[in-house]
Amino acid sequence: MRKLQISAIGEPADVLELVEFQAPAPGPGQVLVEVQAATINASDFLYISGQYFITPQPPSDIGAEGVGRVVAVGPGENESLVGARVLLLPTYRHGTWATHLIAATTDIVVVPDDIDAVQLAMVGINPMTAMLMLRDYGNPSMPDRWIGQTAGNSAVGEYLIKLAQRFGWKTISVVRREAAAQQVRRWGGDRVVIDDDDLESNLAQSLSGTELDIVVDPVGGRAARQLVHHLRFGGTLVSYAVLSGQTASPGVLDLIGRHVNWTGFWLINWLRRTDTALVHSAYRDLVDLVADGTLSARVDRTVRLEDWKDALGLTQGDTGREGKVVFVFDEQPS
């Protein structure tokens, strides 16, 4: 058995190491899972470097989301789980960058065997983030609902567009270049605007008076503030990252004059504060959407665990990567 773990908090290339280990027998409320695929996310690197909301205690196992198969259960647990394929929820109570791991039974969701493991490995964070922001903010029942977003060509942006299509909502996405705009259009984005010197006028022209129910923003800065100007009375700005390092704060006139709401979203808060049965039900709904082809995400490369240094190079910095890099354990990398 092998796993990646950190020896200290710091730069991933400096503190990650591949180690051999023997997994303990699962205890009460636990299962032993043989991992099939595990996603590499930007949040993993923030976690390793101590810049996330959760601080690891080295030596610490790494990797938030993935999919695998149960090979053993703890005393008193349901023996029928043995052999089941399970989604590993991104609770940070286990590390998925490993051939095997011990997980709490509350942190697994049984999923079908006939869905691509790599697509399942990506279900934990980005699609659930998109789903919850669309479902739990603004007014999902309003007719002709419009959603604005920055970073429309991001992983969350792709899921958001596909979910909005599924539920009959419309989207306007801000991106930084024309190639990204073309990509968003291929996914079914209704309107796309380039973030350039003409952003303000182009947004106004594209929307033609249409008001947005919510604005979903991982970037901050000018694009988010411009989208806020097009929110309906009582509309909501939801921030879930700050990629630009700039605040997305709506102007005080928007806050006062149109009662614009500004709130944040972090998936871990939902995982920690929501009844386990409801969490599992929401993930099963997402898995069904992956199964029927509604949801999928781009994959740039699959790699073996021993090639983790190559994986770091692919996922850190501006490498021109298109899609996720995913560790695979029971199939050939690509």
How does pLDDT run across 259-307, given as a tens digit for each residue? 999 999 999 999 999 999 999 999 999 999 999 999 999 999 999 999 9
Q: Please state whether beta strands 60-61 and 2-6 pair in parallel, antiparallel, or not at all (unpaired).
A: antiparallel
The pLDDT of 189-196, averaged and rounded, is 97
Does residue 331 have a pLDDT over 80? no
Q: Report the pLDDT averaged over residues 50-55.
A: 92
Share of the chain above pLDDT 70, in %: 98
Query: In the chain, pLDDT over 90 holds for what percent of residues?
Result: 89
Q: From CA 304, how far away is CA 307, in angstroms rounded?
A: 5
Estimate the crossing angle of helix 155-167 against helix 126-136, to 10 degrees: 50
Burial class (CB in 10 A: 0-12, 13-18, 19+), 9: middle
Q: Is 305 helix (H, G, I), strand (E, B) or coil?
A: helix
By CB atoms closer than 10 A (0-12, 13-18, 19+), residue 130 is buried
At 255 the pLDDT is 86
* DSSP assigned state of 126: H
pLDDT tens string 102-127: 999 999 999 999 999 999 999 999 99
* String of DSSP letters for 52-97: SSS---SSEE----EEEEEEEE-TTS-GGGTT-EEEE---SSS--S
Q: Which pLDDT value is given to residue 318?
A: 60
Q: Extract the runs of DSSP E, i.e. beta strands, from the chain.
A: 2-6, 16-20, 30-40, 60-61, 66-73, 85-88, 100-104, 108-110, 146-150, 170-175, 191-194, 212-217, 231-239, 261-264, 299-303, 324-328
pLDDT number for residue 251: 81
How much is the average pLDDT of 34-55?
Answer: 95
What DSSP state is assigned to residue 3? E
Q: How does DSSP classify residue 323?
A: S
Q: Residue 250 has what pLDDT?
A: 80
pLDDT digits (tens, 9 = 90+) for 200-254: 999 999 999 999 999 999 998 899 999 999 999 999 999 999 887 777 678 888 8
Say how many Å lie between the first and final Cα of the chain, rounded.
Answer: 22
Nearest to 321, CA basis, from 305, 310, 331: 310
Residues 261 and 319: their CA atoms lie apart, in Å, by 36
Rg (CA), the chain: 20
Q: Are 111 and 120 in contact (CB under 8 A)?
A: yes
The closest of 5, 63, 4, 69 to 33, measured between CA atoms, is 69
